[in-house]
Chains A and B, each alone.
Chain A
Amino acid sequence: MSVDQTQRSIRCLVAKVGLDGHDRGAHVIARAFRDAGFEVIYSGLHKAPDEIVQAAVQEDVDVLGISILSGAHNTLVPKVIEGLEEYDAFEDTLILVGGVIPDEDKAELKEMGVAEVFGPGTKMADTIQFVRENVPER
């Protein structure tokens, strides 16, 4: 006898990683995700990759959005991905990167397992729709 009423909600971690103090964009995204009905966990500033991994694993998020405006994405993103793999969390987490990412780095990030890179000028509605369409089935 089952009366389970599934009450699923898309969970996102919005993460600031490394020495980058610009969090306005992350706040705007967090708010927009909230208004889209997602549950948003915000990491706070200046987090190390393993802190992001710990949060993503324990919070069991569907989406990990990493905001980087410092230019250190080629160093930091691989560390986060390695950490997720270590805890078997890589496969079913949708990884997004936002911020100032040069075009020539985008392909490389996607190669590593980043689902999409959102640069300046991206419409909020597009990001939200991308999440809705690509959130991993569990």
Chain B
Amino acid sequence: MSADVRGLVDDLLDGHQRALARTITKIENREPGYRELVSALYEHTGDAEVVGVTGSPGAGKSTLVDKLTETYRDRGHTVGVIAVDPSSPYTGGAVLGDRIRMASNVGDMDVFFRSMSARGNLGGISTATADAVKALDAFGKDKVIVETVGAGQNEIDIVRTADTVAVLVPPDSGDEVQTLKAGILEIGDVFVVNKADLSGSDRTVQELKEMIQLAGDTGSPASGGGHHGPDQHALGDAGGDTGDTGAGAGAEDDGWTPSVVETVATDATGMDDLTDALAEHREYMTRSGRLDEKARTRTAEEIRLLLREDASGLLERELDRRGGIDALVESVRAGETDPYAIADDVVSPIEECLDERE
């Protein structure tokens, strides 16, 4: 390990804000040595509880994250927040505006808030987010919150790096057909109807509950799975009226029935209900072994991803040795060969090496 990386890791573990900030920058920029860095942090991770928060633009995510952070801070936990905003597909530029909403926690250096832009690199942002979460975890944050707009696959991949996912649904957000659609509503462990003081919120709560019940009836995978006994449904007092949504229907089949919580983030109404619901999900994950399972899946994906990166790096080198991609493209254009033959050709020496090892 280079001295630079060692120094940075030591400073980060010592609690220097600047070192943590710089580490995340290196991760984000994929600067030379960032892998070494993440690798060195790895053994210090695993203690933070990671919560993902997503929802449509203007649903109140940042404000909710602010109040959630404040609630955790009041209870003595340290908090790290990563807020991902989209970047321009044209210039790559971005305005990262989530920080403005963190009004309740300004000046509190035990809250580390970092804005990240989805830099348009396919799949890359979820890796960068996951690595930044590791940095916050190694730094010693008790709670890490990852916030992102739930617009597409990229965002869904981001929040899936969290142990518990809260999906914000604003009141009056379409009729019940919307709840049938695939996507963001499938990934919620906890649904938050924010702006619950607006009209239409009761109906939205009702529609979400029907959706959840339907999921229970048809045995769709939702986020649960496995047989863990009927006590899963003891959802307790989260929101007062959140439990018991799947009563009687497939009560023994699915593991976790998503809860529905009502909040008004601007005045912190419902924050205790929300933290209770998050804690219950966490407790369920631990008790049922799902937390371990999820961590295992994540590690496997991580290994595969790194291997793909490395393998494609090796192949790039092989391409260069053969005169570069442009020359190969030319030969295809000239009708001498085709992309499939080239791919076979480039990979064959690697295959031979592997065969020899067997």
Contact = CB atoms under 8 A, between A and B. Distances in A.
B119 A7 contact: yes
Interface centre among A3, A5, A9 (most CB of B within 10 A): A3
B112 A4 contact: no
A3 B313 contact: yes
Given A7-B29, A51-B106, A87-B17, A40 B94 contact: yes
B106 A87 contact: no
A39 B109 contact: no
Interface stretch (A42-50, A68-76, A99-107, A119-127): A42-50
A48 B107 CA distance: 9
A59 B17 contact: no
A7 B95 contact: no
A42 B312 contact: no
Given A2-B32, A58-B114, A33 B100 contact: no
Contacts of B103: 44
Interface string A1-31: 1111111110100000000000000000011
A3 B310 contact: yes
B236 interface: no
A38 interface: yes
Interface residues of B, number: 44
A55 interface: yes
A83 B357 CA distance: 59
A44 B95 CA distance: 12
A61 to B, nearest CB: 9
Contacts of B87: 39
A58 B21 contact: yes
Given A2-B32, A3-B312, A44-B100, A39 B93 contact: yes
B313 A1 contact: yes
B35 interface: yes
A129 interface: no
B31 A9 contact: no
Contact of B91 (A2, A6, A36, A60): A36
A4 B124 CA distance: 12
Given A50-B107, A59-B21, A87-B18, A42 B95 contact: yes
Interface in A77-132: 87-89
B95 A31 contact: yes
A3 B115 contact: no
B176 interface: no
B95 A30 contact: yes
Given A37-B92, A39-B117, A2 B100 contact: no
A57 interface: yes
B17 A57 contact: yes
Interface in B270-316: 309-310, 312-314, 316
Interface in B75-132: 87-88, 91-97, 99-100, 103, 106-107, 109, 112-115, 117, 119, 121, 124
Nearest to B311: A3
Given A50-B107, A54-B107, A59-B21, A38 B93 contact: yes
Contacts of B121: 7
B102 to A, nearest CB: 9
Interface in B124-151: 124
Nearest to B100: A44
Contact of B114 (A5, A36, A37, A59): A59
Nearest to B120: A7
A41 interface: yes
A71 B222 CA distance: 57
Interface string B306-344: 000110111010000000000000000000000000000
A44 B97 CA distance: 9
Contacts of B309: 3
A3 B316 contact: yes
Contacts of A1: 310, 313-314
Contacts of A34: 88, 91, 93-95
A54 B115 contact: no
Contacts of A37: 88, 91-93
A35 B88 CA distance: 8
A11 B95 CA distance: 10
27 contacts: A1-B310, A1-B313, A2-B313, A3-B312, A6-B31, A7-B30, A31-B95, A34-B91, A34-B94, A34-B95, A36-B91, A40-B94, A40-B95, A40-B96, A41-B115, A42-B96, A42-B99, A43-B99, A48-B107, A50-B107, A51-B107, A54-B107, A57-B21, A59-B21, A59-B99, A87-B17, A89-B18
